[in-house]
């Protein structure tokens, strides 16, 4: 009986203030969408850094017949030049910086090149002799990659020294800055949602003063009187969180999985719609907590029971 009464009061309150409820749902949905986007971007940053650390942090490309660098004036790197790089990597000077390294010969480089550009007509125009020998280095401390890069940069037979962490640093910085912006905007909109919930509860109290007075006279408990108001706010907050989850799924499915991951590579772009399995419950919890908290504050201020 009490459950049916509370449910009917919730539906009645939501319908009486339908315009305010819709406003709460929309603002909550948009703000929680930014919160979810911030969580996704932080996960992407964490995964990207982990991937780059696990992969070769520094790559040395030896000269190929097509290299145009000044250090490749003699054409493709000679066996002696390649051996000198091996000896340097195994030597005592770089030992404090290097954890491990691997060498990729021309046949392996050709195989990877053909896999990356499979289906392209020009992929079959190259042979193993056109590919560079390369060394892929994993460092003990990624922050000291500059020392290794400077050691090999400009050496005869070395075409290019690539530092992957530095190469992706601008992209990571953009993600960090975007996260700060998204979370900041989300906080402002969540404040607006909290104020809207408080206003909605205040209007509900004003519309039901007569019923509240009757319940007081018959001895209804504080919890029984307050519960419908708190659940009204919770319903609006949860609806907003569910809509936010739907918006995030649309974005991750079509934008991230449908365009960004195929463009940049699924090894690098790791977030997707599957991440909503843990993000969506967080958003629902945030929406419910904020709405209920705002309702409690509003009830304490405007409803004297």
DSSP string, 246-275: HHHHHIIIIIIIIIIHHHH-TTT----GGG
Residue 144: which of 168, 126, 127, 163 has the closest Cα? 163
Same domain, 243 and 175: yes
Q: Which domain holds residue 109?
A: 57-140
243 and 200 in a single domain? The answer is yes
Interatomic CA distance for residues 174 and 244, integer angstroms:
23
Please check whether residues 173 and 223 belong to one and the same domain.
yes
Asked whether residue 5 carries a pLDDT value surpassing 50, the answer given is: yes
> Average pLDDT, stretch 1-6?
60
Cα–Cα dist 160/77, whole Å: 12
Confidence of residue 1 (pLDDT cuts 50, 70, 90): very low
Structural domains counted in the chain: 2
Same domain, 261 and 224: yes
Nearest to 163 by CA among 56, 261, 87: 56
Residue 155 lies in a domain: no
The answer to whether the CB of 38 falls within 8 A of the CB of 117 is no
Give dist(CA 87, CA 105) in Å, integer: 16
- Are residues 227 and 91 part of one domain? no
Least Cα distance to 35 among 291, 296, 276, 293 occurs for 276
Token digits of residue 177: 């800055």
Question: Cα(137)–Cα(134) distance, rounded to whole angstroms?
Answer: 10
Tens-place pLDDT, residues 144-154: 888 999 999 99
Confidence label for 233 from pLDDT (cuts 50, 70 and 90): confident
Does any domain span residue 177? yes
Average pLDDT over residues 280-292: 92
| Burial class of residue 67 in the structure, from the number of CB atoms within 10 Å of its CB (0-12 exposed, 13-18 middle, 19+ buried) | buried
Distance CA 165, CA 56 (A): 9
User: Tens digit of pLDDT for each residue in 52-102?
Assistant: 666 657 999 999 999 999 999 989 999 999 999 999 999 999 999 998 999
Q: For residue 121, what pLDDT is reported?
A: 74
Last residue of a domain, one of 89, 119, 140: 140
- Cα–Cα distance for residue pair 282/35, rounded to 1 Å: 10
pLDDT greater than 80 at residue 303:
no
Look at residue 100 and give its three-state secondary structure.
Answer: strand
Does 20 reside within a domain? yes
> Residue 229 above 60 pLDDT?
yes
Q: Are 81 and 105 within one domain?
A: yes
Model-level pTM?
A: 0.69
Q: Which residue has the tokens 């104020």?
A: 195
My answer on whether 71 and 129 are in the same domain is yes
User: Which residues, other chains included, contact 143 with Cβ-Cβ below 8 Å and sequence gap of 6+?
Assistant: none
Rg from Cα positions in the chain: 30
- Whether residue 129 has pLDDT greater than 80: yes
| Residues 61, 134 contacting (CB under 8 angstroms) | yes
> Which of the listed residues 96, 121, 140 is the one where a domain comes to its end?
140
Q: Is residue 28 part of a domain?
A: yes
Residue 153, in any domain of the structure:
no
75 and 40 within one domain: no
Spatial neighbors of 80 by CB under 8 A, at least 6 apart, are: none
Q: Report which DSSP code applies to 157.
A: T
Q: Identify the pLDDT of residue 84.
A: 95
pLDDT at 130 over 70: yes
What is the token pair recorded at 204? 């509900």
**Reported confidence tier of residue 6, pLDDT bands at 50, 70, 90:** low
Residue 108: its pLDDT value, please? 94
Are 96 and 200 in a shared domain? no
Q: What is the mean pLDDT of residues 169-183?
A: 83
Question: Do residue 250 and residue 196 come from a single domain?
Answer: yes
Is it the case that residue 140 has pLDDT exceeding 50?
Answer: yes
296: in domain = yes
Of the three residues 95, 124, 140, the one that is the final residue of a domain is 140
Residue 238 resides in a domain: yes
Average pLDDT estimate for 16-35:
86
Closest CA to 194 of 279, 297, 282: 297
Q: Which helix (H) or strand (E) holds 8?
A: helix 2-16
Instruction: Specify whether 47 is located in the same domain as 173.
Output: yes
Q: What is the pLDDT of residue 242?
A: 95
Give a yes or no: residue 209 inside a domain.
yes
Q: Are residues 263 and 296 in the same domain?
A: yes
Dump pLDDT digits (tens) for 210-221.
877 777 777 777
Average pLDDT, the chain: 85
Lowest average pLDDT, out of 30-34, 112-116, 177-181, 207-211, goes to 207-211
């Amino acid at each position: 009986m009490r459950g049916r009464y509370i449910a009917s009061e919730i539906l009645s309150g939501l319908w009486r203030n339908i315009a305010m409820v819709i406003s709460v749902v929309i603002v909550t949905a948009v703000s929680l969408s930014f919160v979810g986007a911030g969580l996704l971007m932080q996960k992407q940053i964490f995964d990207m850094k982990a991937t780059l650390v696990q992969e070769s942090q520094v790559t040395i490309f030896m000269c190929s017949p097509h290299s145009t660098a000044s250090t490749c004036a003699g054409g493709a790197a000679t066996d002696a030049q390649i051996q000198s790089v091996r000896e340097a990597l195994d030597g005592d000077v770089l030992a404090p910086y290097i954890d491990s390294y691997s060498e990729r010969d021309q046949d392996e480089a050709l195989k990877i090149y053909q896999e990356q550009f499979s289906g392209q007509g020009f992929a079959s125009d190259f042979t193993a002799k056109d590919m560079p020998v390369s060394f892929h280095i994993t460092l003990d401390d990624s922050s000291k990659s500059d020392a290794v890069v400077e050691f090999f940069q400009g050496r005869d037979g070395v075409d290019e020294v690539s530092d992957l962490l530095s190469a992706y640093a601008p992209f990571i910085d953009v993600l960090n800055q975007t996260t700060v912006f998204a979370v900041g905007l989300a906080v402002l909109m969540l404040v607006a949602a909290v104020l809207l919930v408080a206003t909605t509860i205040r209007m509900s109290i004003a519309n039901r003063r007569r019923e509240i007075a009757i319940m007081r006279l018959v001895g209804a408990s504080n919890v029984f009187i307050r519960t419908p108001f708190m659940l009204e706010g919770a319903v609006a907050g949860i609806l907003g969180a569910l809509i936010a989850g739907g918006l995030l799924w649309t974005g991750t499915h079509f934008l991230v999985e449908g365009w960004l991951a195929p463009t940049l590579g699924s090894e690098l772009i790791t977030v997707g719609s599957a991440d909503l399995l843990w993000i969506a419950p967080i958003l629902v919890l945030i929406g419910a907590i904020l709405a209920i908290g705002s309702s409690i504050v509003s009830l304490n201020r405007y409803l004297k029971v």
